[in-house]
Amino acid sequence: MIGIVDYNAGNIKSVERALSYIGTPYVLSKNPKDLQKVDKVIFPGVGEAKYAMEQLHETGFYSFLKDFAKSGKPLLGICLGSQIIFDHSEEGDVDCLGIVPGIIQHFSTVFEKQGKDMATYKGLKIPHMGWNNLEFHKESSLFQEVEKEASFYFVHSYMIQPQDNSIVVASADYGVLVPSVITWKNISACQFHPEKSAKAGLQILRNFVQNQDGKLC
């Protein structure tokens, strides 16, 4: 059974619709106790990191998610949920879940670190919003039967900066390489919205649901 974390900061309806479309039963709850026995968890998110972390603490999902990650069961973060599984976010200068080593930084910070001037990239708008294809760095069962040329839907102003770049499965080019899919132990995360990414996104969700051993690479 799939569990969906509802912590007042998630793109819940679109995830529900996507799972229903691919015929996957799920449990959606605002109470961590209701998800104690699920086999896998989807951790969606939209909005601001500091608010999301406040909600995780208030609802009890902060401890639940850390314990679930330690259990070895598969967890999939989506958009903001792909970010706040890391240690710290520049957005609101907030400590996050600390499940995966790394930080979250604004596009402007990443450009500056790489010695690039965002103003020189004509047409580059933040937030990064719209469809992008991916550059793949390694194989992952998440992308079984997904065409390499497929595009995915992004909406974000901050990006993952993992401590270990080898966990990045795929990146999008938006002036800088944007880590877009990571896998680390039993954790996977998509910066884009698979539930809003048409056929290719639905296939990623299907692969996550159907994978039996929890190994995503």
pLDDT in tens, the chain (217 residues): 999 999 998 779 999 999 999 999 999 999 999 999 999 999 999 999 999 999 999 999 999 999 999 999 999 999 999 999 999 999 999 999 999 999 999 999 999 999 988 877 767 899 999 999 999 999 999 999 999 999 999 999 999 999 999 999 999 999 999 999 999 999 999 999 999 999 999 999 999 999 865 444 3
Check: CB of residue 32 under 8 Å from CB of residue 65. no
pLDDT digits (tens, 9 = 90+) for 64-102: 999 999 999 999 999 999 999 999 999 999 999 999 999
Task: Specify the residue for token string 């839907």.
Answer: 153
- Which of 16, 78, 76, 15 lies closest to 45 in space, CA to CA? 78
Check: CB of residue 5 under 8 Å from CB of residue 56. no
The answer to the question of residue 216 being in a domain is: no
| pTM for this prediction | 0.94
The residue range of the domain holding 60 is 2-210
- How many CA atoms does the CB half-sphere of 149 hold within 13 Å? 0
What is the C-alpha to C-alpha distance for residues 17 and 23, in angstroms, rounded to an integer?
A: 10
**Helix 12-21 × helix 198-210 angle, to 10°:** 80
The answer to the question of residue 99 being in a domain is: yes
Check: CB of residue 102 under 8 Å from CB of residue 89. no
Position 212 scores a pLDDT of 60
The answer to the question of residue 92 being in a domain is: yes
Burial (Cβ within 10 Å: 0-12, 13-18, ≥19) of residue 47: middle
Position 130 scores a pLDDT of 96
The answer to the question of residue 217 being in a domain is: no
Angle at 40 between CA 74 and CA 43, to 5 degrees: 85
Active site residues: 79, 193, 195
Give the chain's domain count.
1
Secondary structure of the chain in HEC code, one letter for each residue: CEEEECCCCCCHHHHHHHHHHCCCCEEEECCHHHHCCCCEEEECCCCCHHHHHHHHHHHCHHHHHHHHHHHCCCEEEECHHHHCCCCEECCCCEECCCCCCEEEEEHHHHHHHCCCCHHHCCCCCCCEEEEEECEECCCCHHHCCCCCCCEEEEEECEEEEECCHHHEEEEEEECEEEEEEEEECCEEEECCEHHHCHHHHHHHHHHHHHCCCCCCC
Residue length of the chain: 217
Please report, for the domain that includes residue 100, its CATH number. 3.40.50.880
